[in-house]
Homo-oligomer: A and B are copies of this chain.
């Protein structure tokens, strides 16, 4: 197999301690012996064994990342933010697709613990009691994206969903819209859906527009659902709004397509605003007005937060809210 520090030592005619010292620059070594060691390393093609090192120092310089699904629209941006920050600090990431599934999440948590991650970043819509229980049993550095842990023991990073939805709907109201439909995600989802719904209601209230339950529908954040709901709910019931607030850009894409198919023009007949600002939103026809979430930034700052925990610093702020931004494009007026 691969050569160990021992062989290098033998060839360089020094002790393994000395080899270790030059490999890690951990202590002064005479220039001459250092050269001998370096030559021996070259000759043997020695490569340090990080596993052995980890066992010794109880640090893997690896962090676990549990996300719903890497293939989801905005997850990759977050992961990229995490990885950039991680690699910058000498860490590597292990990514796991939890699929918002209790069992899978629990199992990954277990595996990541056994593999002795230095910390874990956990992204999900909601976190079940079972998963929460598992999390607390681990007792290692952790940070949440979007979700909260029930006891709020660990920090969480995310936008202010209520305010973000409020901003979007308030903008529509300001433009004179009164009949504003909303397509949300899972109605029970306490992270993305409830707060956005609240923001919607709050805006209406503020502008003195009565809330109409019939204008609200729930899907699952997918384009297919947005498409389906427009056809099978709004059109079928002949409830044609003048504007529509969608809880995700994917929903908005499906919805816009449905409206356009049956002859409504966007934004002339119906204004549509999305949520997320995924990378293709500016290239849709028409380009989509939406609430941008700083995904990369979220990943990056969650990693930062994790690092400070790993370094033993005490976290004071448990809820790190990152800025959202309403981006006006052509799908609304």
The answer, yes or no, to whether A1 is at the interface (CB within 8 Å) is yes
The proximity string for A residues 78-102 relative to B, scoring 1 for CB distances below 8 Å and 0 otherwise, is 0110011001000011111100000
Residues of A within 8 A of B (CB): 1, 45, 47-52, 54-55, 58, 60, 62, 69-73, 75-77, 79-80, 83-84, 87, 92-97, 110-116, 137, 223, 253-254, 256-257, 260, 279-280, 283-285, 296
Number of copies: 2
Complex Cα distance, B124 from A96, in Å, reads: 22
Chain B residues within 8 Å of A97, by CB: 80, 83-84, 87
A286 to chain B: closest residue by CB: B285
CB of A24, distance to nearest CB on chain B (Å) = 13
A69 to chain B: closest residue by CB: B80
Chain B residues within 8 Å of A49, by CB: 55, 114, 116
Chain B residues within 8 Å of A70, by CB: 70, 76, 79-80, 83
Complex Cα distance, B83 from A83, in Å, reads: 17
Complex Cα distance, B116 from A48, in Å, reads: 10
CB of A109, distance to nearest CB on chain B (Å) = 11
User: CB within 8 A of A51: which of B80, B96, B116?
Assistant: B116
Complex Cα distance, B71 from A21, in Å, reads: 39
**Contacts known (A47-B114, A83-B96, A93-B94); A71 close to B60, Cβ less than 8 A:** no
